[in-house]
Structure 1
Amino acid sequence: MGQPARQPQAGRRRLLGLGGVLLLGGLGGCGFRPMYAGGGEAGSPQRSGPITAELAKVRVGPIPERSGQLLKRSLENHLTPTGADGLGSYELNVSTAFNVEPQGFRRDGTPSRLRYTATATWSLFDNAAPPNRLAGGMVRSLDAFNLPDQQYFAADMSREAMERRLMESLSEQIVERVAVALERRRQPSAA
């Protein structure tokens, strides 16, 4: 009795799998290709390809405060995953801003949970004199942490972990947008 119920599910899975293969095959025919396409092994964390070489040429300008240091380090790790020092053909300038709001309160009115909204405004410039702004934008990330009652060390550790997650999220978003801007610049317009 349990066997007939499984057969339709297996059929649906096969149909969905076939649809996924056809979709991916169709995307290749319309010119779709991964942004970081190249000769790397499947499943390899290392990116390769022309856009990766362009990303390695981006130098990140100074970003003030501790959170800025975390963001700069994360950006550099994403832009040059092999650790190679960029040639400096481009400069990426980033500024950050934070907003904090309490999400939960204890009976005495003190906050028990804080939510941070981190916003980063970025601009990509070339190294011409004077520099030309090639792209720019704003990215945002949200995260929160609990404030345990009278556990100051735990609250501080939670805040630091949250700050690292926020900076990593902002970094990933910025690198994606910079990669798209560099790819558009690299491709001749079809006009």
Structure 2
Amino acid sequence: MRTAPSFLRALMPAALIAALALPLSGCGLQPLYSGGSSAGVIQGLSAVDVPAIPGRGGWLVRNALNERLGKVGSEVSPAYRLDVRLDDSLEALGVLNDDTISRERRILRARYQLVDLSSGEILLDATEGFDAGIDVVSSEYATIAAEQYALENIAKEVADRMATRIALTLRSRAGETAPQ
């Protein structure tokens, strides 16, 4: 059995990647954050003000949003306001024969609106949510710790989804207002 010369074997991965990337060039995919820190989407995200959200879940979501929107350490004057209402609940899933709960579900839902401060127009009105399962154990402390840990994780997930949706909205808005 004959094998390809070593220089051809070295070029094969690059040729394969180029062949696979060629059809993608005409599909219209564009990087969301193209242009780096000077990109319109990045500047728009850092101009989103997130007012305080009530409760521990609200505090976690707001901090995660500010981090994802680039507000941490940023002194950009707000052009948008993000109004968020949270619904945080615990639901019993597994109930044993003696009526004790063996499993819970922590659910966090966020209803939010992105408001343009200059016009008062609502640019985005959406809902995001996520949930996590929790095992209820004999130690009450361990169960409470698991509930809090689940809230921290789902708050980050909800904030990620919200930030992505906001970025897409701002990108489409920038495309509408850009000169053609």
TM-score by length of 2: 0.81
SS in 2 for 1:85: coil
**Where in structure 1 are there 5+ consecutive unaligned residues?**
1-13, 40-46
1:160–1:86 distance in 2 versus 1, CA, 3 Å: farther
Alpha-carbon offset, residue 117 of structure 1? 2.2
1:48, CA displacement in angstroms? 6.5
1:91 aligns to 2:88 (yes or no): no
Change (3 A) 1:182 1:158: same
SS at match of 1:34: coil
Please state if 1:26 is matched with 2:26: no
State the 1:67 CA deviation. Answer: 0.7
Distance 1:48 1:24, change over 3 A: farther
Q: CA distance change for structure 1 residues 113 and 59 in 2, over 3 Å: closer, same or farther?
A: same
Match of 1:167 among 126, 151, 155: 155
1:170 Cα deviation (Å)? Answer: 0.7
Higher relative contact order (CA 8 A, sep 6+): 2
Structure-2 residue corresponding to 1:104: 94
Match of 1:142, SS state, is strand
Report what 2:108 is aligned to. 118
Does the Cα contact within 8 Å between 1:122 and 1:136 map onto a contact in 2?
Answer: yes
Gaps in structure 2 of 5+ consecutive residues:
1-11
Contact 1:59 1:86 in 2 (8 A): no
1:188 is matched with which residue: 159, 162, 176? Answer: 176
1:55 pairs with 2:52 = no
Question: Secondary structure of the equivalent of 1:136?
Answer: strand
SS of the residue corresponding to residue 188 of structure 1 reads: helix
Residues 67 and 31 (structure 1), Cα distance of their counterparts in 2 relative to 1, 3 Å cut: same
Q: What displacement does 1:185 show?
A: 0.6
Paired with 1:88 and 1:179, the residues of 2 have a C-alpha distance of: 15
Identity %: 25
| CA displacement at 1:81 relative to structure 2 | 6.4
Deviation at 1:85, TM superposition (A): 3.3
* Count, aligned residues: 167
Deviates more, 1:158-167 or 1:85-94: 85-94
Aligned twin of 2:61 = 71
Q: Please, what is the CA RMSD of the aligned residues?
A: 2.5
